[in-house]
Structure 1
Amino acid sequence: MSPVRPTAVGWDCWLLAAIACLTMNEKLLYRVIPPDQSFSHNYAGIFHFQFWRYGEWIDVLVDDRIPTCKNQLVFTKSFRKNEYWSALLEKAYAKLHGSYEALRGGNTLEAMEDFTGGVTEFFELSHAPEQLFCIMKKALERGSLMGCSIDVASLIEMESHMEQGLVRGHAYSIIALEECDQVDQDSRVQLIRLRNPWGWVLWKGPWCTNSKEWSTISIADCNSLKKQTVQESEFWMSFADFKKYFTKMEICNLTPDGLQGEVRSSWSVSVNEGRWVRGSSAGGCRNYPESFWTNPQYRLQLLEEDDDSEEGEKLCSLVVSLMQKGRRMQKNQGPRFLTIGFSIYQVPKEMQGKHQHLQKDFFLYTASKAKCQSYINLREVTERFRLPPGEYVIIPTTFEPHQEGDFILRVFSEKDSLSE
């Protein structure tokens, strides 16, 4: 399949960026686009696609009629004029959400999850954690999808070129990370391999093709890294320059079923579905102490610390994802995304294993152990934490009390955990 590119109508470019990332992983691509269909063999004018939808994979069937204007495709298209898989995928995704109109404005992370069943993390690189290289390395080992971009200050800057050749407001795919010894220096250099989904490379900085930096590593490392850039659209740059020039990064961590058998390097995942009900379980955030305790409560046991925990540290890595359900499909009916978030409390020893609903007094006199950085009116809020082994309770909430909605709460942990 050839790279996809946007047309003049760019209201779902967020979806386009996710499709470009999907093409980087053949197993995931053929999970979304089953390969047993074509325009020739047993052709019946229909195609089917598979998307992850709130905990399960569903099949979406569409015909081969694609919107056009003056004999040109209106939305997504491929470089090859006789290739229509991306336009058909877009049509199926629009059907999933109710209409093409429902795709106006969105988030690349949202589509990445619907293509993989994974859970996504968002990083502002100006405030990236110190262990970011390690986080990304582990993510790639698990088969996770990763993308990055450079913010624009205004629409005028969209797709404009920086001095070093990078493009603002443009989605790049992250392909690999490497660390090499530098010749005649007692140091190592961290490198990152990126791909421009639209098929061309403009990077002119250090570690671009034929730059002097390649002479600072061994010939063996040099040849090995250059052989990896099999696509003309791929290039290397230093990890330091990556953090300097790029502003945002997204990781879509895959669930075991998304990895199709590669469970040995995947996360342990727990999934809980729930609902905020007015007058019952829609208590709002901690600003409302009289009702906060009525929110749904989910127990979590972290059983084993990470393999790479430092001596005496004993911490467990986990990613908590709170997603509200069905809001985009109802977009034309008026409802917008609720403002949502969550808090995590450590359960005292005397309350562990009892599974009772924690009452108001507990939350009045107990501080949270962790929480999302902010409440946000997007489909999903996701945060990464490192907590000691033990028993915790997660409280998913809307910001205001008495707001109704369905949600799904997922917890990804590097080691085994129990959730209920």
Structure 2
Amino acid sequence: MNTVGFAIYEVPEEASGQRNVHLNRSFFLRNASAARSETFINLREVCSRFCLPPGEYLILPSTFQPHENGDFVVRVFSEKQADFQELDDPVEYNAKEEEIDEDDVDQRFRSLFEQLAGQDCEISAFELRRILNKVITRRGDISTDGFTLQTCRNMINLLDKDGTGKLGLVEFKILWMKIEKYLNIYREKDVDQSGTMNSMEMRVAVEEAGFSLNNALHQVLVARYSEPELTIDFDNFISCLIRLESMFNTFKALDTNEEGEVEFNIMQWINVTLL
């Protein structure tokens, strides 16, 4: 049983009345709590009574030790009627698209691409899997089972602008830049240096990669991409981000009116779900 407690913070004026707002670490470093539980203790129930001025408050339950996972229930009893809601993040993708052309590719990378691509000057999913797995097996600071063929196909689907089912020079360069970026994020956010990510590290890493997701979606990602011990290795991390980017791009392409809603016909639905 985890050692748990909670703190109560007054909601800042700029976030008043909002539900889709994210209060990050800097907020909690700069603001003192309005109240907190008397102690952190490993009991089934932690209960306290407070008298606070009227206003909007954030209840923040937590474990005493960082990065511990557990389910919990928050119950609030008030003398007068009050409104309660879960504070959550909006769902959006904020990463900047990489835009390069052949002139931006240096000669060293061109030579490497020519060696890897072979006579057709393009890289297939099979070749991509061989290349990536050869590179990551040399690293001792990340845990991985190796990239699957399906993950490599998803990468190609994301970047294959000419519809060949393979990656040309510029497309491969963009993918290489993405993987380098995601590798740096993975290593930086792996706080305990285990080579894998727990659910909290994964949440921070996904946000750093440019994806703003709500709590429900974060839970889905962990359930979908984690190992039995609820850790995410590097290949699953990359697979998750590639899949997310593809889904956001598809939605954006179909949301022609930019209203945040789309309607599918059967053909569009099949195309989307087969990606």
TM-score by length of 1: 0.20
Instruction: Give the strand-richer structure, 1 or 2.
Output: 1
